[in-house]
Homo-oligomer: A and B are copies of this chain.
Amino acid sequence: MSAAQGEMVVCVLGTGLMGAPMARRLAGAGFVTHVWNRSPGKAQALRGDGCRPCASLAGAVSGAAVILSSLTDGRAMLDLVEKVVDTGAAGAGSLWIDTSSTLPDEAVAATRRLGDVGVAFLDAPVSGGVRGATEGSLAIMAGGADATFRRALPVLSVLGRAVRVGPLGSGQMAKLANQMIVAGTIGLVAEAMLFLSEGGADCAAVRDALQGGFADSTILRQHGRRMQARDFAPGGASANQLKDLDNALSVARDLSLDLPMIAQVRARYRRLVDDLGGAALDHAALYLELCDLNGKDIAAP
């Protein structure tokens, strides 16, 4: 523990699946780590990990140099920003890092509201899941002023690899681009796997043969295997993938952009979720939608 970190208070708001392991890492790195959660039990549970659970929001943010939020969406994040501003307890000169996935506009709205009370804001959504949060290996896509990003680095570097990807809202743009590519690649791998299996090729051997080439990806290896094994336990749920694609296309519409591949993939995830009962299945289940489209039996591997 460095002396500086031992004196610095970081407040984690939202200690769910992602927030809890992030709070643990921050406490482990020597930050005085306040934790608060809407349902207080989840914050209390972190006491044994060196965190300081706070019963009130005002108590949690009071004295914090950095506030880090991890919430379900932008609406929850903006609600909490409003509540914190209302407490009057957030210190002028402090910094709010939002690791939630929101719309870029919601990051802009948060910045404005917090600016009224002298608090800087960085949108910093993450990729890498619970495992990345636990191991401190998250990919962190940060949007905001360069000086703000540099102030955030001592905290972010405990959580993973942070890259500033542009001005405010850019972190959310990057996260949406990430989701677009992931969802679309799942759709492509699904078409390739069905094509190969109907053509009598050995799908696992093909995935092996393609390793290291231009078609290779983690999606091909992991989700390709899932499709072949009909293993659709989440992982990332299809309903969440649909929500992300809805958000991406909403931003695209605001930018007057036509993204024809993503529009098609979104329509097909909607069919998977609304018509085929796939909401809770892993997003690799887009393979089932493709099988259904082709009148293929989707039950047996």
Contacts and interface: CB of A to CB of B under 8 A. Distances in A.
Contacts of A206: 141, 163, 165-166, 170, 173-174, 177
Contact of A205 (B166, B205, B262): B166
Interface residues of A, number: 71
Given A174-B196, A206-B174, A260 B264 contact: yes
A209 B81 CA distance: 27
A35 interface: no
A260 B180 contact: no
A92 to B, nearest CB: 28
Contacts of A293: 258, 260
Contacts of A262: 188, 191
Most buried by B among A141, A189, A192: A192
Give this chain's copy count.
2
B182 A215 contact: yes
A127 interface: yes
A173 B201 contact: yes
Given A182-B215, A206-B174, A261 B187 contact: yes
A195 B255 contact: yes
Contacts of A127: 210, 213-215
Contact of A185 (B164, B188, B196, B251): B188
Interface stretch (A12-20, A82-90, A216-224): A216-224
Nearest to A262: B191
Contacts of A21: none
Contacts of A104: 199
A198 interface: yes
A72 to B, nearest CB: 20
A208 interface: yes
A148 to B, nearest CB: 15
A300 interface: no
18 contacts: A164-B205, A165-B202, A170-B201, A174-B196, A174-B206, A179-B215, A180-B191, A181-B189, A184-B185, A185-B217, A188-B188, A188-B261, A195-B248, A198-B255, A214-B218, A217-B217, A258-B294, A261-B264
